[in-house]
Amino acid sequence: MELRSSNPVFRNLEKTEVFVTSETATYTGIMMKTAIMLLAAVITGVLAVTVLADISMGLLFVSMIVAFISVIIASRSPRLAPTFAMIYAVAEGVLLGVITYLFETFLDIPGIAMTAMIGTASIFTVMLFLYSSRTIRVTPRFRKIMYGILLGILLFTVASMLLSLFGGPSLFIASNSLGLLVSGVFIVFGAFMLTLDFDRAEQIVKGGYGKEYEWMVAVGLMVTIVWIYLELLRFLAIISSNRR
């Protein structure tokens, strides 16, 4: 079976040599490691906004760089994946903590974090059920559609950035109906990315990959979960802004 995914972390697995070990990856192992990373991110995020007296853009930038580098390493090296997966979780926790703090404090939207977390968990649960029940099937055609949408999102992102540089409105921070539509589309895309991630996890387990690949799969799942959470934050912020 050909292994493909729209998640860049999982795409790297296709190019990585499979190391044969006495222990193979399991669904329980993947879910446990994903849960550990999410818990580490939540704890780090809370500490970042409660212990640190000064929330700066420098902290946001540094955590973003560390998270990006850690994802690259964790997705390419099975041996280093456990260490850098946790580094990614901690750095991402700081990043999400700061962003959430900015939404709740400076944008004055109390409770937005809890709502976004509940929404993310709900989307994850629903998509896992739809995938496990085979209501949604990951086929080669489905993957091609997802690749096409991903390319469209990348082009849209570049176009929006160029537009804002030349004095035009940024579609990512627009508080009108267009901004709401864009954020909604990104949330739906993230939800369907989860099904590709579930498919990747299934193929990793059935393919007899080693236990070290559980961390690599967990990193890929967390990347998608973070995507959905951030888009839900933006979606809720736009709704709140429109109500005022």
Maximum Cα interatomic distance, the chain, rounded to a whole number of Å: 59
Look at residue 225 and tell me if it is in a domain. Answer: yes
Q: Is residue 203 part of a domain?
A: yes
* Residue 73 within any structural domain of the chain: yes
Give the orientation angle of helix 57-76 with respect to helix 212-243, to 10 degrees.
150
- The SS3 assignment for 148 reads helix
> Residue 197's closest CA among 223, 227, 221, 231?
221
Domain coverage including residue 138:
8-243
Strand partners, 24: 210
| Domain assignment present for 20 | yes
Query: Is residue 16 situated within a structural domain?
Result: yes
Q: With respect to residue 51, please indicate whether it lies within any of the assigned structural domains.
A: yes
User: How many domains is the chain built from?
Assistant: 1
DSSP letter at 210 equals B
Confidence at residue 93, expressed as pLDDT on a 0 to 100 scale: 93
23-54 residues labelled b (16+ CB within 10 A) or e (exposed): ebbeeebbbebbeebbebbbebbeebbeeeee
Look at residue 3 and tell me if it is in a domain: no
For the whole model, what pTM was predicted? 0.84
pLDDT at 102: 82
CA atoms in the 13 A half-sphere facing the CB of 37 = 34
pLDDT of residue 192: 95
Give the residues across from 210 on adjacent strands. 24
What is the Cα–Cα distance from 38 to 138, expressed in whole angstroms? 25
Our separate counts of H helices and E strands in the chain read 8, 0
For residue 2, being part of any structural domain is answered with no
What pLDDT is attached to residue 2?
42
Asked whether 188 and 136 are in contact (CB, 8 A), the reply is no
Q: How far apart are CA 213 and CA 222, in angstroms?
A: 14
Give the Cα separation of 36 and 39 in Å (integer).
5
User: Residue 10's pLDDT is what?
Assistant: 53
pLDDT tens digits, the chain, 244 residues: what are they?
444 455 555 555 554 544 444 588 999 999 999 999 999 999 998 888 777 656 667 778 888 999 999 999 998 888 899 999 999 999 999 999 888 888 887 777 778 889 999 999 999 999 999 999 999 999 989 989 988 998 888 888 787 777 766 665 555 555 567 778 888 999 999 999 999 999 989 999 999 998 889 999 999 999 999 999 999 998 998 888 766 6
Enter the tokens of residue 201. Answer: 């996890």
